[in-house]
Amino acid sequence: MVLVGKKAPVFKADAVINGGEFVENFSLEQFIGKKHVVFFFYPLDFTFVCPTEIIAFQEKLAEFEKRNVAVVGCSIDSKFSHWAWLNTELKDGGIKGVKFPLVSDLSKTISQNYDVLAGDFDYNEEGESVFIGAPVAYRGLFLIDKNGVVQHQLVNNLPLGRSIDEAIRMVDALQYFEENGEVCPANWHKGEKAMKATHEGVSEYLAKK
């Protein structure tokens, strides 16, 4: 399911914030009208690729914050698993020092609504409910604007880690368009020339490359 151009699915769920505080009814709606949001899913706590991504987001958190962007992670683990992982040292496989919120999608409904669940429930020949596939989230990432609309989405399979620099580049491109009305060409980076969304604008841009 492509969510780009649509309202981001709403939810209220348990989360852990500030590296160790439990909160109930955490929602992305708190950022409407205030911040852009990078909302990303990862498969599981205490795994291998996942901590590299989460720590990479933390290392770049100041870059997101100066752009007025909230970073929020989510997996199908419980809030207690999140808390334990957040309080485990890096040398022991933990992510201690991570401060952005981690949402608990224990029911898997958030992953389903964002269409990143790596499988689905079905019935076997005996009529029993079974899960087909992996009961975890793909590596989905959604850039949500201040109106709560998804402007960019990326979904990787489980073994494939994401580029945090690319997430920042997409934030820059969206904010540049919102502020200036010009569109951002391939491989555009903040500080570079953009272009008007016209045939003349494209021709002028290509001529100057």
Which residues are marked as active site? 50
Long-range contacts of 88-91 (CB under 8 A, 24+ apart): 90/51, 90/55
Strand partners, 39: 72, 142
Q: Which amino acid is at 119?
A: G
- Residues 166, 88: Cα–Cα separation, whole Å: 28
Q: Which residues contact 177 (CB under 8 A, 6 or more apart)?
A: 183, 184, 194
Q: Which amino acid is at 204?
A: E
| In 42-187, beta strands by DSSP E | 69-75, 102-104, 117-123, 129-137, 139-144, 150-156
- Residues 90, 42: Cα–Cα separation, whole Å: 18
